[in-house]
Chain A
Amino acid sequence: MALRIAVVGGVAVALFAVLLFRLWDLQILSGGHYLAEAKNNRTREYKVIAPRGDILDRDGNVLVDNRTSLALQLNTQKLPEDPAEEKAELARLGQLAHMSLRKVRRTIDEQEEVAAGAPVTLRKDVGYDLVYYLEENQRRFPGVVVQRVFVRHYPDESRAAHVVGSVGEVSEEELTEAPYKGLEPGDEVGQGGVEYTYDKYLRGRPGLTKIQVNALGQPTPGGQLVSQPPTPGDNLKLTIDPEVQAAGESALASRGLPGAFVTMNVDNGQLLGLGSFPTFDPTIFTEPMTQSQVNELYRDPELGLLTDRATESYYPTGSTFKIVTALAALEGKVITPSTTIFDGGKLTVGTQSFQNAGGASYGPLTLVPALEVSSDVFFYELGLKMWDTGQLQRWAAKLGIGQESGLDIPGETEGLVPSKKWREELVAEGLAEERPWSAGDNIQLATGQGDLQTNPLQMAIAYAALGNGGTLVTPHVGMEVEDAAGRVLKEFDPKPRRRIKIDPGHRAAIMEGLHLAAQGPQGTSYGVFGGFPIEVAGKTGTAQRPPHADQSWYAVLAPYPDPRIVTIVTMEEGGFGAESAAPAALQILEAYFDKRASSVSAAGTGLAE
């Protein structure tokens, strides 16, 4: 018996030792770890979404703001544990949200993968009737909440769509990048246009509410620990002029041809209008898209709606390029403004013959009339004179052609100015036929043909440099960041890229040629601008872009002789410059000057100031 009692006593000692050791381990050795876990346990953090800043035009009109929307969200942890009950609830939810059970499950899985534990958004923009129904039947829908969310709203639909861009959920890749530090999956960031470039100003900071909860996740009385309200994003004011933008968009839309327009202040690079056709309503990005919508949007980058033809295109420019040729020839002392060149209707170099458009011949010409009538032969001769000097390419580069401009909208293209070196490289890489750079190549380039690839924005910058006497501006659409009260927090005035030395006499000659081309009786666009009350300097362009029909261009500086703005319009397959692009440019200028005239007359009556 004594043995049996001793055995039990020994076992008891061992058992108590085990308990005490375990207690020691938990409380003394690992206590800190468990204390942290316990503290973490009892708080829930709720993020309060910050509304994104508005995007305004230069007059303060809203281009993009937010609307609040009711989103049907599901807290998956609160779903019934029983699989059959869970299935029943999801099916009921699906009926409410007009989704199949399979789609509901897929939505949950997809969002759980990105942000496990976060509420799953089943459907945005649910109606109030659904909210009331859910409130009345709360018990049948555990875990279902209706959350107020902010959705981007575009009051003028497609207005300046390529400029403003769109927002979307931050991608996993972006989350690892510095500008998106501190964001979480599901947060919305700018994904294009100024929404992307100025995201850090527009985004705002989410608020945080920390609540002490019990094990069921229910707030405990007086359990609100921290409440930090969200900071709304700041508003972004663009340089876009509403009238100019509207005129440009309607001019493009009325012809229905793919094309683009750029209107820019020649002195500081502020873009008053920037548009591309066909265009889109960014609202589509705020809603779930059907596959056919996705296909329509992305089917072809060259033809697609999303491509901004003002900045992302690769076009030859036709005769609008002639100012580059003229500047290169004058500044390179190849000709002077009084040098006469005979235009016999064509120029023959070796076996190649280059003709004027329409078979015209203008006889002996100096630069000014050559620009007025847009003699090709005159400029062919200049191209021939400079064919292996590289002067033309140098001046194109000086004027920013074939270079990214530093525009504050992502996606602009570099383009290409063909040169001897480029040709040789191409041949060396076996990408082109075995043929050296020829006079013919340069002759083509002199009139904006051949392998030249540029876009309306680059042309606007080049024309602006001519107009302002040699400053290569940095184009931009961002003007100011304002807080909600309208106080300016930051102004954007990017420095010019460089100054080019242009002889004032040379500039004056070219400007005169352009002025006559627009408003002289012999001018190529006299039919369009002849009756315009404000003096302008404009140049037509008709670019051959096989296999397409000719592309119509127009470049205009106004007012002449000291321009404030430059407008470039191009329309694919629009024919002669004067035919479609020039009338569109006229519409834009009318809008610009009408507005100024009316504000001047308002000032005259003493109403202003």
Chain B
Amino acid sequence: MMYATRTRGGRAEPFAVRVSIAERLGLAHMDWPLALATVALAGFSVFTLGQATSHDVPGSPHYYLDRQAVYSLLGLVGMVLLTRIDYSRFRELRVGIYTFLCASVSLVFVFGFAARGSRRAFEFPMFSFQPSELGKLLLVLALAGFVIDGARRGSVKRRTLRYLCLGLAPAALVFLQPDLGTSMVLVVATLAVMYFGGVPWTHFAVIGAALIALIALVLVAAPAVGVPVLKGYQEQRLTSFLHPSEDAGGAGYQQNQSVVAIGSGQKTGRGDRATQTRLDFVPERHTDFIFAVIGERYGFGGAALVLSLYALLFWRALRIVTLSKNSYGTLVAGGIAVSLLFQVFINVGMNLGIMPITGIPLPLMSYGGSSVIATFLAVGVLQSINIQARLSQKGRFAW
């Protein structure tokens, strides 16, 4: 069909031409609901930041608005570009990607920009770049490659151990930055890739038991013998949601204020009369606690809409897992889907006072270039998997 229309030159039928251009851009086989949810969430974020942060930076009311809009557009462009690339190439590049990932999260220790006692990002003249955010995607891409590549090498146990080590190494580096939240996402992404890679259930049971033992060790046993693994504030944040009123001035206070903010939004929200998130009662309202802003300003309607968009996004991502033309795509899509779900649940749960404060941003909504762009790119990879699957079903390649 496509070749046929081309030979007709200028006399092509309008319908056939349109199909051709859409196919060339790969848009015809894009998952439109996924794209829509992604853009809607990013747009909602820009809209919210524009309303809620106009007094935050003296003299420039659009500070966060402008920047987030630019990040989103960059992310959108990156996403569209990625749809044009066959994701399977990343499998070949797995060693390079993995090396880049480990190097970049290590280099912040040397060249990183220290903010609030932790080195997470590189500071450039116009922007800063936090490699661990992109690392979430990179780890999935590389690890999925290693899993597929090593599928027939060594015993099942050895393979499980190898994947674990490969995943936990960058996670440990990020943990040392220190960035507890992102390192947790990396661990979850690792487990997700292994899960879809067919690691036996029994191994997960052992890993789960080991995790529980580790948590107990870190939170209870190690401090008891005088070897604190977590920084004081980290432990406080992690545990304060269990007893918020005990520590009304510290970490629990922040979460309390966030809960009050969301609750006060009621059905329809308080709009510009919102006080909790406008008058600094809720900390980090443009980043980690942006869901509280939405809850207070736009009420249950706004917050439920956001949750629905994430549900839509996750559903489409999971659907792509099932559609993928090859196992690599399944593993990549699964890793991305689960890590997005994890981030959304932890962040929104933290805003709602049922999850600990871990500093995990809300994908696409929290202010921050690295996170927004990395999420767009991850969605781009999902789209690429979808497009390749559609094209292979038709027995053709895009280009």
Question: What 0/1 pattern do residues 330 to 353 of B give for CB contact below 8 A with A?
Answer: 100010011001000100110011
Question: What 0/1 pattern do residues 243 to 266 of B give for CB contact below 8 A with A?
Answer: 000000100000001011111111
Q: Which residues of B contact A213 (CB under 8 A)?
A: 279
Among B300-317, those with CB < 8 Å from A are 300, 303-304, 307, 310-311, 314-315
Partner of A215, one of B262, B279, B334: B279
Judging by beta carbons under 8 Å apart, are A18 and B354 in contact?
Answer: yes
Judging by beta carbons under 8 Å apart, are A214 and B295 in contact?
Answer: no
Judging by beta carbons under 8 Å apart, are B280 and A215 in contact?
Answer: yes
Q: Is A35 in contact with chain B by the CB < 8 A criterion?
A: yes
**Shortest Cβ distance from residue B305 to the other chain A in the assembled complex, whole angstroms:** 11
Q: Is B267 in contact with chain A by the CB < 8 A criterion?
A: yes
**Shortest Cβ distance from residue B274 to the other chain A in the assembled complex, whole angstroms:** 8
> Cα distance A1–B330 when bound, in Å?
10
**Shortest Cβ distance from residue B175 to the other chain A in the assembled complex, whole angstroms:** 24
Judging by beta carbons under 8 Å apart, are A27 and B279 in contact?
Answer: no
Q: Is B63 in contact with chain A by the CB < 8 A criterion?
A: no
Q: Is A360 in contact with chain B by the CB < 8 A criterion?
A: no
Given contacts A27-B299, A31-B266, contact A19 B352 (CB under 8 A): yes
Given contacts A38-B261, A39-B275, A42-B275, contact A16 B307 (CB under 8 A): yes
Judging by beta carbons under 8 Å apart, are B300 and A35 in contact?
Answer: no
Judging by beta carbons under 8 Å apart, are A27 and B318 in contact?
Answer: no
Judging by beta carbons under 8 Å apart, are A31 and B279 in contact?
Answer: no
Judging by beta carbons under 8 Å apart, are B281 and A34 in contact?
Answer: no
Q: Is B322 in contact with chain A by the CB < 8 A criterion?
A: yes
**Shortest Cβ distance from residue A25 to the other chain B in the assembled complex, whole angstroms:** 9
Judging by beta carbons under 8 Å apart, are A41 and B354 in contact?
Answer: no
Q: Is A216 in contact with chain B by the CB < 8 A criterion?
A: yes
Interface locus among A4-12, A414-422, A589-597: A4-12
Given contacts A213-B279, A215-B281, contact A28 B267 (CB under 8 A): yes
> Cα distance A81–B249 when bound, in Å?
10
Judging by beta carbons under 8 Å apart, are A31 and B264 in contact?
Answer: yes
Judging by beta carbons under 8 Å apart, are A23 and B279 in contact?
Answer: no
Q: Which residues of A contact B129 (CB under 8 A)?
A: none
Q: Which residues of A contact B275 (CB under 8 A)?
A: 38-39, 41-42, 212
> Cα distance A34–B275 when bound, in Å?
12
**Shortest Cβ distance from residue A519 to the other chain B in the assembled complex, whole angstroms:** 80
Question: What 0/1 pattern do residues 263 to 283 of B give for CB contact below 8 A with A?
Answer: 111110010000110011101
Q: Is B195 in contact with chain A by the CB < 8 A criterion?
A: yes
Judging by beta carbons under 8 Å apart, are A41 and B318 in contact?
Answer: no
Q: From A3, which residue of chain B is reached at the shortest CB distance?
A: B201
Given contacts A4-B195, A216-B280, contact A32 B352 (CB under 8 A): no
Judging by beta carbons under 8 Å apart, are A38 and B260 in contact?
Answer: yes
Partner of A23, one of B303, B310, B318, B334: B303
Most buried by B among A5, A8, A23, A41: A23
**Shortest Cβ distance from residue A35 to the other chain B in the assembled complex, whole angstroms:** 4
**Shortest Cβ distance from residue A423 to the other chain B in the assembled complex, whole angstroms:** 68
Q: Which residues of B contact A20 (CB under 8 A)?
A: 304, 307
Judging by beta carbons under 8 Å apart, are B307 and A27 in contact?
Answer: no
Given contacts A23-B304, A41-B260, A216-B280, contact A12 B318 (CB under 8 A): yes
Q: Is A30 in contact with chain B by the CB < 8 A criterion?
A: yes
Given contacts A19-B307, A23-B303, contact A8 B318 (CB under 8 A): yes
Q: From B349, which residue of chain A is reached at the shortest CB distance?
A: A19
Judging by beta carbons under 8 Å apart, are A38 and B264 in contact?
Answer: yes
Judging by beta carbons under 8 Å apart, are B300 and A37 in contact?
Answer: no
Judging by beta carbons under 8 Å apart, are B259 and A26 in contact?
Answer: yes
> Cα distance A20–B304 when bound, in Å?
7
Q: Which residues of B contact A26 (CB under 8 A)?
A: 259, 262-263, 295, 352
Q: Is B196 in contact with chain A by the CB < 8 A criterion?
A: yes
Q: Is A285 in contact with chain B by the CB < 8 A criterion?
A: no
> Cα distance A365–B188 when bound, in Å?
121
Q: Is B321 in contact with chain A by the CB < 8 A criterion?
A: yes
Given contacts A1-B330, A19-B345, A39-B275, contact A28 B266 (CB under 8 A): yes
Judging by beta carbons under 8 Å apart, are B314 and A12 in contact?
Answer: yes
**Shortest Cβ distance from residue A39 to the other chain B in the assembled complex, whole angstroms:** 7
> Cα distance A28–B348 when bound, in Å?
17
> Cα distance A9–B275 when bound, in Å?
37
Q: From A220, which residue of chain B is reached at the shortest CB distance?
A: B279
Judging by beta carbons under 8 Å apart, are A22 and B354 in contact?
Answer: yes
Q: Is A15 in contact with chain B by the CB < 8 A criterion?
A: yes
Given contacts A12-B314, A34-B263, contact A23 B322 (CB under 8 A): no
> Cα distance A214–B274 when bound, in Å?
12
Q: Which residues of B contact A19 (CB under 8 A)?
A: 307, 345, 348-349, 352
Judging by beta carbons under 8 Å apart, are B263 and A27 in contact?
Answer: yes
Q: Which residues of A contact B315 (CB under 8 A)?
A: 12
Q: Is A24 in contact with chain B by the CB < 8 A criterion?
A: yes
Q: Which residues of A contact B264 (CB under 8 A)?
A: 31, 34-35, 37-39
- The interface of chain A, by Cβ under 8 A from chain B, is 1-2, 4-5, 8-9, 12, 15-16, 18-20, 22-24, 26-28, 30-35, 37-39, 41-42, 81, 212-216, 220
Closest 4 CB pairs of A and B: A34-B263, A31-B266, A38-B264, A215-B280
Residue contacts A-B, CB under 8 angstroms, 24 given: A2-B322, A4-B195, A15-B341, A16-B307, A16-B311, A16-B314, A18-B354, A20-B304, A23-B262, A26-B259, A26-B295, A26-B352, A27-B263, A27-B299, A27-B303, A33-B263, A34-B261, A34-B264, A35-B264, A37-B260, A38-B261, A39-B264, A41-B275, A214-B279
